[in-house]
């Protein structure tokens, strides 16, 4: 029986490359010279550090552009609030990955409401969709792509 998995993943290597490129760009920009502005990465958490709020926003724009060039969907980023203390502003950005329970239920509801003869099952942080016809599965992929979900989805492990 053909099946595929719906996941939400971020390529960790590309993420670290985007952070490194952002740090190089910030170090080379004239308006950031001598400010010790940077992006620090700790697994799936990013900390943007600069002297002012405005510069933190500029670093955020640079980071998003670098991530988009590297093929990372910026919809997976969850911005935190900018906190200022002394002569430094910080903003934490969380990189979301995996499908949470609420979104998984929403996906299974979309699959069931489609009227196609397919089944969906929630498996920890992914959803497996299976059916008898490959065409039905392709219609489900098209349906999920055009539905406006809050997290970027990938369709992997397609088995025939």
Domain boundaries, the chain: 3-8+98-159, 12-95
Please state which CATH class domain 3-8+98-159 belongs to.
alpha beta
Summarised one tens digit per residue, pLDDT across range 130-143 is 988 888 888 888 98
Token pair, residue 105, equals 């239920």
pLDDT over 90 (residue 39): yes
pLDDT at 133 (0 to 100):
87
The Cα diameter of the chain in Å comes to 62
Ramachandran region, residue 71 (left: φ > 0; alpha: ψ -120 to 50; beta: rest): left
- Identical fold at 3-8+98-159 and 12-95? yes
CA–CA distance, 47 with 141 (Å, rounded to integer): 34
pLDDT at 18 (0 to 100):
94
Q: With residue 83 as reference, give the H or E element that holds it.
A: strand 77-85
pLDDT band at 3 (very low <50, low <70, confident <90, very high): confident
Tell me 51's DSSP state: S
pLDDT over 80 (residue 30): yes
Identify the residue with better confidence: 111 or 20.
Answer: 20
Token pair, residue 124, equals 């920890």
pLDDT at 33 (0 to 100):
86
Summarised one tens digit per residue, pLDDT across range 57-112 is 999 999 999 999 999 988 889 999 999 988 899 999 999 988 888 888 888 988 88
Tell me 86's DSSP state: T
Torsion 92-100-104-139 (CA) sign? positive
Fold annotation for 12-95: Alpha-Beta Plaits (3.30.70)
pLDDT, mean of residues 29-48: 90
């Amino acid at each position: 029986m053909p099946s595929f998995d719906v996941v939400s993943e971020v390529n960790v290597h590309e993420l670290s490359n985007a952070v490194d490129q952002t740090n190089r760009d910030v170090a080379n920009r004239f308006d950031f010279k001598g400010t010790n502005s940077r992006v620090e990465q700790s697994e799936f958490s990013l900390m943007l550090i600069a002297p002012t709020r405005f510069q933190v926003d500029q670093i955020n724009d640079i980071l998003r552009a670098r991530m988009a060039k590297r093929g990372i969907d910026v919809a997976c980023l969850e911005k935190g609030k900018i906190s200022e203390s002394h002569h430094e502003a910080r903003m934490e950005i969380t990189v979301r990955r995996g499908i949470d329970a609420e979104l998984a239920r929403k996906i299974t509801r979309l699959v069931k409401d489609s009227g196609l003869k397919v089944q969906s099952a929630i498996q920890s942080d992914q959803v497996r969709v299976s059916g008898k016809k490959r065409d039905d599965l392709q219609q489900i992929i098209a349906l999920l792509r055009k539905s406006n979900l809050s997290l970027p989805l990938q369709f992997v492990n397609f088995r025939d």
